[in-house]
Amino acid sequence: MSTSNHHTAAPARVTRGTVAPRDDFPVFSHRPGQVLLDSAATSQPPAVVLDAQRTFTEDAYAAVHRGSSAATGSATAAFERARSRVASFIGAGEDELVWTANATDALNLLAWSFTEAALEGTGRLALRTGDEIVVTEAEHHANLVPWQRLAARTGAVLRVVPVADDGTWTIDAMRQVVGARTRLIAFAHVSNVTGFIAPVADVVELAAAVGAATILDACQSVPHRPVDVRALGVDFAAFSAHKMLGPTGIGGLYGRSELLASLPPGRTGGSAITTVTLERAEFLPPPHRFEPGTQPVVQAVGFAAAADYLDGIGMDVVAAHEDELAALLYDTVAAIPGVHVVGPAAGAPRAGLVSFVVDGVHAHDVGQFLDDRGVVVRTGHHCAQPLHRRLGVHATTRASAYVYTDADDVAALGDALAGVRAYFGADR
């Protein structure tokens, strides 16, 4: 954690505009004057995403991959077009993208598929007693608890890469943990607490040296910067639509085609099979073998529309916009007396979010104070209790930017935050 309110970084270049017109987002007309700085939790959908879902629901709503009607065929075609569109957004093949309920569901599905592989006892991904799963101390619970449970079910050992005092970790620290028995390395591309950007290429190289598979939590990267999973070289990745201008209720699991083909399904049922007898079942090829039951068709259409919208802006443009706002957020928050930023120091690369602690004021009180002044942020442990425990704090306040955020929003945060300690009498 930063221990000083003063730093020597050059002033950030101020971004006065946004890269996405606010008129595109209905929320700004329905909640005028509100400063939305909680997009790392859930982003706001543009009208084109809402319209795409509404149009499909009104004109083409039907079950997919079931029956022989023209309506089913039309809905199935839209559903699979959406898969192809979202897959291309992350540089994957359409057979490499599994629809899930969200990123948490994607990681749990993967963990259960690894469990099935362990039960069958064959293949590279079949864990055995004494094999090791590596995570970092900074992980979101969604990228920690499934691997805890997988280790418990298979007899594998969970090993943890420690973080430094600022909540970040290094590839050198990971090298001290990864060994000959490492089979899985699960880590976040971008920390949802500190904004730390992981050295993905170094992790992939390290994993390859010991024959381990890599699992990337890409929730905070896919919406905010160009991500090409094949170029990154990771084996699996999870991300959610609702963090990238899309609907809730749908996420994606990327897996290299040959690895998905080697995995048994982590859950089973209708639409994922070829033949079922009373004694056994045979399953479809990926990705459909991992998608039993009724599918989130409307959400998939919205997900694809969100990908179209972001590509219309250009993910390089999105990243540049947020890089400027990241620096501005840091400078604004860190300059306020009694406020301490967690994560990378001034000038170091970070995503467009800042988590901080206010001396003498609980994060929940900080959040309520800001909310009363029209500034929406996130408070709590952000589903990362081990990291907060390591930082020595129960909770932090987090402000996060996106395509519709501008410098005036950051200024409003700074103005409101400057009054917190006096209001609670913590400046005496």
Q: Which residues are catalytic?
A: 383
The alpha carbon of 1 is separated from its chain's Cα centroid by a whole number of angstroms, namely: 23
Query: How many other CB atoms are found less than 10 A from the CB of residue 211?
Result: 10
Radius of gyration of the chain (CA): 22
Q: Give the sign of the dihedral formed by CA 145, CA 217, CA 406, CA 43.
A: negative
Q: Confirm if 247 and 302 have CB atoms less than 8 A apart.
A: yes
Calculate the CA dihedral of residues 358, 359, 362, 365 and round it to 10 degrees: -60
3-state secondary structure of 377: coil
Q: Of 96, 311, 81, 322, whose CA–CA distance to 221 is shortest? A: 322
Helix/strand/coil (H, E, C) string of 384-417?
A: CHHHHHHHCCCCEEEEECCCCCCHHHHHHHHHHH
Residue 335, token pair as written in the block: 């300059």
Amino acid identity, position 398: R
Amino acid identity, position 172: D
Alpha-carbon distance 315 to 308, whole Å? Answer: 11
User: Given the structure tokens 């890469």, which residue do they identify?
Assistant: 161
Q: Bridge partners of 380? A: 396
Rounded (5°) CA angle 138-142-144: 55
List of residues 6+ apart from 222 with CB closer than 8 A:
89, 90, 237, 239, 243, 244
Instruction: Kindly list the distances between the CA atom of residue 99 and the CA atoms of 175, 189, 286, 299, 375, in Å, as whole numbers in the listed order.
Output: 33, 20, 11, 10, 34
- Cis before 287? omega within 30: yes
